[in-house]
Structure 1
């Protein structure tokens, strides 16, 4: 870890969200798709989004583990497990759903990336 932001999960999540917003701007039709110059760029963006989906799935799994380990312990120590236990359980269920959806997202992105790669001449295909 090289800087204080490396250990600040909320700040990193904000940076990631801002980056996705910038990507949205760069791929938007409003000003002529400024960040795209061809199907190769689309393929590259799909590959990066696929990686992001996998990383997001892992991050959500880690958040779920944190809820299981740290928050449950914290609630138990403060004697508020009964009052907040169902809230934590609902959050865990929702995060498990997010994990499943990111798996589906990654699979769809792989399918799209594979389809776009078929536009390349066979000698230029990656992989």
Structure 2
């Protein structure tokens, strides 16, 4: 019975680890995407700033520089806010993964036989 309980605990920990790792990868991908958006907005702003204020620029249609500049500044700020939020999510997920790893270590220390079973399953 203890073996079955240990096995169930291991499977729960394993499922949790898989779920958390998937979520972490998703957050990291979102962060990379937002970093790209932020960088594009920054570079566009750097190109726009030296232009005279009365310059018309192209987005899809001819628009005043101030309109495009305001849009890029908003994109930049929004990207930074989203990146900060994603960073918090990433840190929380990393903490949860560490907790799951600790749970797994404790389980393996309490039940050394489960380690042999796990090794026999993976081979």
Category of TM-score, reference length = shorter chain = 0.5 to 0.7
Q: Which residue of 1 aligns with 2:100?
A: 116
Cα offset, 1:94, TM superposition: 1.1
CA contact (8 A) 2:37 2:75 kept: no
Q: Which residue of 2 aligns with 1:49?
A: 23
Structure with higher Rg: it is: 2
* Separation in 2, partners of 1:54, 1:42: 18
Q: What residue number does 2:35 align with?
A: 61
Structure 1: where are the runs of 5+ without partners? 1-36
Give the TM-score, by structure 1 length.
0.56
RMSD: 2.7
Structure with more relative contact order (C-alpha pairs < 8 Å, separation 6 or more): 2
The structure in which a higher percent of residues are strand is 2
CA distance in structure 1 between the aligned counterparts of 2:74 and 2:68, rounded to whole angstroms:
10
Shift of 1:40: 0.9
Taking structure 2 as the reference length, what is the TM-score of the superposition?
0.58
